[in-house]
Structure 1
Amino acid sequence: MSPPRITAPPSPPGHPHRRTGHPDGIVADAERVSSEWQVEIESCAVATRHSPSRQAALETWQRWWAVGALGLGSLWMTFAFLTVPEVMATAIGFNSTPFQFEIAFANLGLAVMGFRAVSASARERITIGLGAGMFLWGALIGHVYQWFAHGDHAPGNTGGVLVCDLLFPAVMIVLAYRAQRLSSTDQSPVLLPGNMSDSSHGVGSWQA
């Protein structure tokens, strides 16, 4: 049986949807987090409408995704696996094991990479996305295997975790790749009549 995978964490103490030690509370909390992300995505979309360029809009999306999805999402998972490992194991449908401690620090590594991606280059963001994907996509495969091979229908094994594991790294890679391509296009020399090209300093002329 594979080790526990990333899943939606329980809400902080006192949250009305939380039932300590019960996976249903985690499911309700996952729905709450999902709705909050939807609001943030819509807010980001509104903000980028006034961006001066496509590159600026892409940069806003990349920074938001790095912090809001990979950074804070993984940091919250670190907290959950360290403070309530039994609840997390129950939500996933696994027995509690010492590996949950290691899963917590694996998520801490993802959080550090997410925060680093805020000020990283497009190439580094692609690398960060691929690094995160090696863990999260492996977790996704594990969830699906446990689902079909062992009938694990626990909410933390077949719920929104599948979408998060897939999209967290994938969106970062796609956005960074798009930004890299757009930057390369904008910096390409402009061909002018007579096979003369416009240099990076804007110098270029046509000769008959």
Structure 2
Amino acid sequence: MVFWVPILCYAAVLLLTAAGLARPPSPRPPWHGANLLLRYINLFPVGLMGLWAALGHIVFPARSAAAIGWATSPFQTEVGAANLGLGVAGVIAAFYPSWGFRLAVAVMTAGFLGGAAATHVVEIAETGNLAAGNAGPILYTDVLTPLLLLILLALTCRSARRAGA
């Protein structure tokens, strides 16, 4: 699961964004595609993956630790709680399209997932840990998700100001 969940989440983002762009009406504002991507990245890689990670770290800590290549630790409950907060915020951001709220979620995502990515890279460099939960697709989404959120928010900043969001 650790290998497939990030891939399936990004496949859902691409599929639903493409479906949203294929639907009328036309013409659309230039930022329409960016807003769709923001919605679905918040819903899947931030929201649902955050809830999935919370479930794993809180309910199945031994299995989660093994997937990362680490020993079980009491800190997993804290990581799980952070994932729970991030997941809930991501789901809200998907359906509450306030630019400011989405920016706050993106900043939290960048701090949390960026820190996780750095930890995984250090672990790979120092120990050679190539476990799926450390060096697999989760590492790429830990970098890609906050980066995409911040880029998309920068692209939609003007339209949000015009809309008064």
Q: TM-score range by the shorter chain?
A: 0.7 to 0.9
Residue equivalent to 1:166: 143
Please tell me whether residue 142 in structure 1 is matched to residue 119 in structure 2.
yes
- Structure 1: which 5+ residue stretches go unaligned? 1-9, 11-25, 188-208
Q: Is the 8 A contact 2:103 2:150 kept in 1?
A: yes
Alpha-carbon shift at residue 121 of structure 1 (Å): 2.2
- CA distance change for structure 1 residues 94 and 36 in 2, over 3 Å: closer, same or farther? closer
Residue equivalent to 1:58: 34
Three-state SS of the structure 2 residue aligned to 1:115 is helix
Cα offsets for 1:137-191 (capped at 9, x unmatched): 011111000111122222211111111111222212211221113455x68xxxx
State the identity %: 26
Alpha-carbon shift at residue 96 of structure 1 (Å): 0.7
Q: What RMSD over aligned residues (CA atoms) do the two structures have, in Å? A: 2.2
Q: Is the 8 A contact 1:75 1:107 kept in 2?
A: yes
- CA distance change for structure 1 residues 111 and 65 in 2, over 3 Å: closer, same or farther? same
For this pair of structures, how many residues does the alignment match? 159
Q: Is the 8 A contact 2:67 2:131 kept in 1?
A: yes
Residue equivalent to 1:152: 129
Please give the TM-score of this superposition, normalised by the length of structure 2.
0.84
Please give the TM-score of this superposition, normalised by the length of structure 1.
0.68
Residue equivalent to 1:89: 65
State the alpha-carbon separation in 2 of the partners of residues 55 and 71 from structure 1: 22
State the alpha-carbon separation in 2 of the partners of residues 121 and 156 from structure 1: 32
Please tell me whether residue 80 in structure 1 is matched to residue 59 in structure 2.
no
Q: Is the 8 A contact 1:114 1:128 kept in 2?
A: yes
Residue equivalent to 1:34: 7
Structure number, greater radius of gyration: 1
- CA distance change for structure 1 residues 145 and 179 in 2, over 3 Å: closer, same or farther? same
- Structure 2: which 5+ residue stretches go unaligned? none
Q: Is the 8 A contact 1:65 1:172 kept in 2?
A: yes
